[in-house]
């Protein structure tokens, strides 16, 4: 039985022809067919250059199909098996994006954001001249903004529920780790928390005059 290449039936099943077919399927967003084609290349020609390409493209297929956890695992496996491959900067970049695409809202646990930032920083450290390090910069900054916003959110929660020592810890950490994030508001919260801690008898019914709190 022949195979179809770009809609035309062909008996040529060489790995390079199959790779072209898989890439074309990927471009057309036919992810199931693309994954099948790349898997066949790996199975039939495990020691070919196309098999290495197929492994990477399988990870891409998972990523484009929004299976980010599976894609991240596939990229990590590629990096483990081919640590000196020229595609490694791209692979690390994609690993970061797999976590970045799963970032939650700022009121939720920020583990995916932290993992994304870790990968982007690793890329920047290992391959600072890579085009992918440059591409990752904007995503890295968004991760930092989300992490800062999360700390601010938690700090405000503690403040509003009158857990002033916990709020103070959060805002002080925020001012040290993210000094450019709402610096004036953070300073005011720190002062207000310190005041409430030093004057516990005035906590009940106390309304800060330093700034307008949004409840």
Whether 165 is in a domain gets the answer no
Domain assignment of residue 142, given as a range: 3-150
Mean pLDDT along residues 145-166:
97
More confident residue, 77 or 199: 77
Mean pLDDT along residues 130-148:
98
* pLDDT > 90? residue 215: no
pLDDT at 11: 43
What CATH number corresponds to the domain at position 11? 1.25.40.10
* pLDDT > 80? residue 21: yes
Into how many domains does the chain fold? 1
CA distance 207 to 203: 9
Whether 41 is in a domain gets the answer yes
pLDDT at 148: 98
Whether 187 is in a domain gets the answer no
Whether 205 is in a domain gets the answer no
Mean pLDDT along residues 147-161:
97
Q: What confidence tier does 159 reach under pLDDT thresholds 50, 70, 90?
A: very high
Q: What confidence tier does 199 reach under pLDDT thresholds 50, 70, 90?
A: confident
Whether 188 is in a domain gets the answer no
CB neighbour burial string for 152-181, b if at least 16 within 10 angstroms, e if fewer: bebbbebbeeeebebbbebbbebbeebeeb
22-70 confidence digits (pLDDT tens): 999 999 999 999 999 999 999 999 999 999 999 999 999 999 999 999 9
pLDDT at 200: 78
3-state secondary structure 39-98: HHHHHHCCCCHHHHHHHHHHHHHHHHCCCHHHHHHHHHHHHHHCCCCCCHHHHHHHHHHH
pLDDT at 202: 63
DSSP 202: G
SS3 101: coil
């Amino acid at each position: 039985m022949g195979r179809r290449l770009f809609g035309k039936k062909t008996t040529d099943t060489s790995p390079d022809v199959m790779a072209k077919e898989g890439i074309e399927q990927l471009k057309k967003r036919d992810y199931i067919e693309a994954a099948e084609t790349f898997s066949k290349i790996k199975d039939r020609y495990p020691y070919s250059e196309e098999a290495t390409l197929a492994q990477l493209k399988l990870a891409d297929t998972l990523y484009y199909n929004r299976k980010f956890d599976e894609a991240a695992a596939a990229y990590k496996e590629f990096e483990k098996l081919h640590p000196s491959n020229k595609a490694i900067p791209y692979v690390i970049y994609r690993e970061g994006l797999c976590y970045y695409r799963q970032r939650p809202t700022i009121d939720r646990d920020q583990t995916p954001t932290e993992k994304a930032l870790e990968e982007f920083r690793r890329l920047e450290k290992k391959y600072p001249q890579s085009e992918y390090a440059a591409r990752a910069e904007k995503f890295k900054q968004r991760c930092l903004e989300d992490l800062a916003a999360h700390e601010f959110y938690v700090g405000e929660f503690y403040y509003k529920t009158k857990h002033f020592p916990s709020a103070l810890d959060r805002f002080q950490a925020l001012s040290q780790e993210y000094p450019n994030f709402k610096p004036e508001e953070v300073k005011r919260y720190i002062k207000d928390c310190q005041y409430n801690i030093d004057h516990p008898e005035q906590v009940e019914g106390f309304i800060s005059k330093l700034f307008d709190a949004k409840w």
